Amino acid sequence: MSETTPKTASPFSIDWRCRPTWRTASYNTLWCLIGCSIGDMGTILYFQLTGIAWPVWAIMGLAIINGLLTSIALETILLARQMALKAAFHTAIGMSLISMVSMELAMNIVDVLVTGGARLTLWVLPLMSLAGFITPLPYNYWRLKALGKACH
């Protein structure tokens, strides 16, 4: 490599103590959590209240899909304040599925482990939300630092 060729920063060379980036990553993760929770928990609650007898894996799979869709919808609405609707939608679609899927999986795994199924209770909601927030947060931080990409 010549001296004029720029070096690609290693993910390990990132200053993981940068408070402004943690703040931004936390803000972005919170909005994603709100969007994902609407679809995810709404789906679980629907099956819980209606008593429709689907296997837990099917309810959780549908909850993940609905969580992803509502997160994309919320992000589109938020981004549409800054750009054209079509561009906002494309940006929301292009956001990190790794972050959203890891959030959804963490929330649903906690729900199944704590309640034994696809059930919402007042005491599982904070645990699901905490797991859903913490799981993608380091990735979202890295994404901001290494790639300069954020939702907002």
Say what the pLDDT of residue 152 is. Answer: 43
- Long-range contacts of the stretch 63-67 (C-beta < 8 A, 24+): 63/39, 63/104, 63/108, 63/118, 64/40, 64/101, 64/104, 64/105, 64/108, 65/39, 66/39, 66/40, 66/42, 67/35, 67/36, 67/37, 67/38, 67/39, 67/40, 67/43, 67/100, 67/103, 67/104, 67/107
- Interval 86-114: pLDDT, tens: 988 888 887 778 899 999 999 999 999 99
Say what the pLDDT of residue 109 is. Answer: 97
Q: What is the pTM of this model?
A: 0.83
pLDDT along the chain (152 residues), means of 10: 47 78 92 94 97 96 96 90 90 83 96 96 97 94 77 46
Say what the pLDDT of residue 122 is. Answer: 95
Say what the pLDDT of residue 147 is. Answer: 74
Say what the pLDDT of residue 9 is. Answer: 54
Say what the pLDDT of residue 77 is. Answer: 92
Domain boundary assignment for the chain:
19-147
Say what the pLDDT of residue 11 is. Answer: 55
